[in-house]
Chains A and B, each alone.
Chain A
Amino acid sequence: MTALSSTLRTRDAAVDCAGLSVGYGRPALAGLDLSVAAGETVALLGVSGSGKTTLLNAIAGFVPPLSGEIWLSGELASGRGRLVPPERRRIGMVFQDHALWPHLSVLDTVAYPLRRAGAGRADAHRAARAILDQMGLDPVAGRRPGQLSGGEQQRVGLARALACAPALYLFDEPTAHLDASLRAQILDEVARRRATDGAAAIYATHDAAEALAIADRVAVLHSGTLVQTGPPAAVYAEPADLTVAALTGPMSVLHAQVRAAGAGRYAITVGDDLATVPGTAAPAAASADPGCPADPSCPADSGPADPGPADPGPADPGAPADRAILVRPDWACLARPGAPGGVDLPGAITEVRFRGPHTDYHLATPAGTLLIREPGPPRTDRGPVHWRLLQARLMPALS
């Protein structure tokens, strides 16, 4: 990951935002650094109001930066008094509410970027038809947006972005208003497209599952700052702080006495029992540099936002300390009677939710409430139970 982030910090990336601040008064984005390599898909994950749309609008050239720069494929696009207009940025954007022109047919909509690029009417229509064919939209080519279903509208929006033949796609919550099956369909479409044309993509979403599934890298945005960037598995397993943890998937937070117990293992006291499990520890303060969390070998050229010294864990590895412990629902399991190994911890099931492929168990434990997710239908009902901790991440003590 370190090597990757250092190569991405070049001006040849598809997008390179450096020290980007947008908006005045309370800035919508403050000192943001983000690089996306050619061919890479980055999911921009954050709640609404975190600055996702602002960042996309800044990259698309609709909003001038207050300070900082945006480079597109090695060319300075925004910053230093320069603002390349949106139509010259080779960006294909898919909008949250589709943004389909009500006065144009589907065919004219998809032909629109081709016409702007200088194609004649007949040529543009021919090329647009080819795109519509590929996407299975040819039956609706003559329709107006008002006559399309939500999923069709979003696919037309995608087809229009494709017609721009962009070097970079920007997706602004494209599935936010679609139901689950259409959502999957659109995501498949996006993934297939991206595999064939090799363009870079930034995919803004507030849905953790979607972000983890679609992206090469996840960038977590909170209040206008990137709080963490990394591969989906890393962001899920090693969130920098509880904000990131909450944004990147379901979780529980336990509070317990913890002490280090050798390489990557921690001894955790729950009630009267002591479980020793593999785990990681988040740096004491949230890392300032999103590119390389808690990594002292991060290259020096990554700008002013270098990480502070990483926290190796509790100040004295041997001494027990009260810590907040992040537990993902798959990092714990209900104990099967008589199963070998591990320590059975006490608890009581307060709620059971069957969710189809898996079942959620809500437990009250001496260390706090805990969510456990296990495959299959419910195995047990409410009541006292034993559970095992498989993995943990120690979070910075809450100030």
Chain B
Amino acid sequence: MSCGDIMSANPQAVREGDTIGEAAAKIIAHAYINLPVVDENGRLVGLFGIYDLLALLVPRVAVIGNLLPNIRFLKDDVSDLQQKYARLKESPVRRAVNREAVRVYPDTPLIEAVRLFCRNHMTIPVVERDTERLVGMISYWDAARLIAGAAPGDRRE
């Protein structure tokens, strides 16, 4: 069994020139964990997901490594966060895309995908080996359903 067997083909994606607001609308509407981001040729650029979106709203130093134990000291005001979002939602999604996101190929063994799910806690894009074009997405739900005996389908992400 390989990743190509369990992937959802032709997944919803955004282009790197699309706005953060457009990507956020899709993420929120479909409760996506991640959306693949592609260039004009359909090649995978990276992922943009709910955590990338939320990370834009807090100081970056607070979400990298373990440099700040907390940011409880900041003024807690939802209108501040809304204003911050309003300011950045017209920016292109390329500004916030996670380019380090792990990717697999259609022939990558399922066991390797399971390992990657355990390590990365996110859905994984499937790309063509030679062209890096996006061909699908696999989620931990697909793997779990298959292993537990249920048929793949009814995907949430």
The answer to whether A and B belong to the same complex is: no
